């Protein structure tokens, strides 16, 4: 006889786990198959809510939304290792004392993934044209945001300030509304209404770059400013262009 290696247990046993710890472990193992099914459903939902893959990517192939559902997929693989496990056999393993805490942790993580599936945000556009996405919550102001390209799996890390700076440098300044919206349509593939621009300007959200213009002159704007307010209105997840 030796002592059970189960957590907080000192029962005598001939194996590494006592009878009580073995049946506890089995009870948790029995939860695994249903969790695998639920994780699968969560993955399917994530695929559906995921931003559509860039054209030419071959539609919804198995690999299409991989980075998006990676958390659920990873958990499913880790849990999958326990599906055919049997507590009585596991009790003969000298690491048996660690199995239950490990399994409980995985099950906890699986449950929270199922209850609160990660929200997918598009943080920028990859140089390949794919969307750079992440499951992580939006970082605090000034902290870096990071994500992975859906298509080529390139990793990106950036701060909001870096993004604004890049957009400012890459887009024209001082344009009349009509020209600005045309530029945005052609280069960013986004359609913004001129009435929206007029309303934003009236509400003070959008500053013209020629505040001292004469009555005959049209107001002019920086494209970057228009885009910034547009994204604020439609939600950051719609930031699906290079700008």
Using CB under 5 A as the criterion, which residues of the chain lie in contact with Zn ion when the complex forms? 4, 6, 9, 11, 18, 21, 126, 128, 130, 149, 151-152, 154
- The closest alpha carbon to 177, from 159, 160, 146, 199, belongs to 199
Residue 5 or 177 with smaller CB distance to Zn ion? 5
- Residue 127 CB, shortest distance to Zn ion, in Å, is 6
Per the CB < 8 A criterion, the answer to whether 136 and 143 are in contact is: no
Per the CB < 8 A criterion, the answer to whether 151 and 50 are in contact is: no
Would you say the C-alpha torsion 153, 50, 183, 56 has a positive or negative sign?
Answer: positive
Residue 154 or 164 with smaller CB distance to Zn ion? 154
Residue 113 or 149 with smaller CB distance to Zn ion? 149
Residue 96 or 206 with smaller CB distance to Zn ion? 96
- Residue 232 CB, shortest distance to Zn ion, in Å, is 26
| CB contact set of 55 (below 8 Å; sequence gap of 6+) | none
- Residue 186 CB, shortest distance to Zn ion, in Å, is 22
Residue 96 or 180 with smaller CB distance to Zn ion? 96
Task: For 178, list phi and psi in degrees, rounded to 5.
Answer: -60, -45
Per the CB < 8 A criterion, the answer to whether 17 and 4 are in contact is: yes
| CB contact set of 147 (below 8 Å; sequence gap of 6+) | 67, 121, 122, 123, 124, 132, 133, 134, 136, 155, 156
- Residue 124 CB, shortest distance to Zn ion, in Å, is 10
| CB contact set of 130 (below 8 Å; sequence gap of 6+) | 53, 54, 57, 149, 150, 151, 152
Tokens describing residue 97: 């004392």
- Residue 139 CB, shortest distance to Zn ion, in Å, is 21
- Residue 10 CB, shortest distance to Zn ion, in Å, is 8
Residue 39 or 91 with smaller CB distance to Zn ion? 91
């Amino acid at each position: 006889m030796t002592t059970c290696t189960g957590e907080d247990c000192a029962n005598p046993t001939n194996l590494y786990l006592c009878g009580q710890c073995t049946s506890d472990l089995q009870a948790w193992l029995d939860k695994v198959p249903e969790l695998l099914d639920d994780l699968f459903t969560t993955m399917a939902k994530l695929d559906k809510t995921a931003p559509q893959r860039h054209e030419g990517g071959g539609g919804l192939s198995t690999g299409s939304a991989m980075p998006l559902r990676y958390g659920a997929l990873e958990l499913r693989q880790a849990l999958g290792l326990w599906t055919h496990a049997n507590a009585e056999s596991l009790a003969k393993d000298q690491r048996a004392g660690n199995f239950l805490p490990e399994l409980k942790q995985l099950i906890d993580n699986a449950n929270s993934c199922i209850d609160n599936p990660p929200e997918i945000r598009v943080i920028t556009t990859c140089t390949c044209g794919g969307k750079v996405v992440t499951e992580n919550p939006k970082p605090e102001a000034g902290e870096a945001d990071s994500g992975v390209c859906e298509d080529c799996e390139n990793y990106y890390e950036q701060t909001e300030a870096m993004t604004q700076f890049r957009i400012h440098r890459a887009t024209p300044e001082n344009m009349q509304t009509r020209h600005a919206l045309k530029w945005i349509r052609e280069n960013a593939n986004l359609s913004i209404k001129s009435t929206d621009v007029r309303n934003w300007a009236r509400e003070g959200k959008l500053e013209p770059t020629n505040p001292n213009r004469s009555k005959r002159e049209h107001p002019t704007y920086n494209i970057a400013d228009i885009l910034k307010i547009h994204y604020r209105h439609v939600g950051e997840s719609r930031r699906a262009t290079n700008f």
